[in-house]
Structure 1
């Protein structure tokens, strides 16, 4: 008997390199990237920066590192970082902003992942009696809210707050390309309002490893030092950057299909009696409220469907390019109990 195909919806980080990526990795020109001499890394950095409308980029192993390096460059110890409730930089980056940069978060309400610019303005602190604000950080798409997209007018409004208050604005754009696909706009049209942007290559775009931080030349020059401090000097990293280039060039075309499949799965979950806020299913992520989530996830896993129980009653499904329509159909049958 053949082994059933495993349908892995735990994250869009579970994908494996495409044949094109593997070939590019095998043939990549390499050098010592700590000295700035890896030609493939340099190409990836330049291409990502140009794509998003910035002067320079810096390749790193993870989105956590790119975000935390950005925080370190933008802030001074003892300051606060304004961020939306549920932001990845706080929830899943292990307190690094406090540990490494000596700064703390100040949260603003963010219904479905979207903060109100007026609330952001109220959160700004300049008093000598309080920790001063050093940075505003946004996340697009917002993972914990369900992969929701920041509306253009909200980004513009928060940019106006940052300008008025003399503050830098950073974007955790791990899934920025998903946001661009959902709004049918070029990614640089979103990125243009930020002083720095972190773009993950190993999520929806499908690369095995890596994120790129982009900003001004001066900003990236400072980021180099912090990357080295965090252990992010990867030497002959061109083999990884080669896969990143393929992801950057070919991955965005797959995202609309991921979004469609996520919507279909979400509607099936609702039909099966599970609680899903369909208004939040805007990209490739689906959250469902399911009692005794861990037991349910274990039962589905026995049938070949993997999902993530992120709380006692919350399950996350993430669609990606290695889930085709046949696999989606089987996933829908499993969650529907067919």
Structure 2
């Protein structure tokens, strides 16, 4: 367990001051530490934020969740718990931020079955429709995906360029992949004026298998982890989800079948514009590059290992290359 678990005695009593509580086993997230707490014979999820220590970001996330739970959703979302003093977040003496949520039962789906992927797309479309109706009296802290200079405070475009063309010795083996990524990053910058004209609204920003729960029959039960919720391109929600279906070790027919299943589910609630559809391949590449920059910044912050960064460099280069290779087929697919 990570060092943040030492804060439990400080955090949990602020939510449950008079109850006995205990830690129960459960999975943790990739960006933050997740601890499962049993109190009052009920299970809760304690989330300790490690991506940042910015109260405004967490407050915005929780404000959106508290507004969204009032909407008619067909699936569950995290419900922030409130401390004795009426807050939804706790700041430890060391500066770490934490929040407690009601536990939602379910399992992370594999997302290989087409019916389940359709269900995922349908839930994503419903979420998009409801987020469009949510208003909170706070400004989002996270910038849109296309604002690449804001992905991580330590990763400006100039720093990424220098890293890509002059990688440190322990990254030299990935020089080819880094050049692919940076070349596409430059190409993307030319498309930003067109991208900015597309429909914008609140988006979850990180819809993937690790952030959804399903039952044993594959039905989507919940959408989790709204940490990156912000005002962004509406179609970016689709690009994020679809990017995970792209794997150069998989048959392209299977990949397109999965993309089609997701889009059909999504389309049952949301009809994308022609411009959004045209931009989708480019935004899938953007998502992969953004994730690489995110984890490079975490590596420079001393949070993630070099192996983690290398994994995301390879993944970004692979997905960027796949889209470039299949761009004609991708557009005819619609």
| TM-score, scaled to structure 2 | 0.24
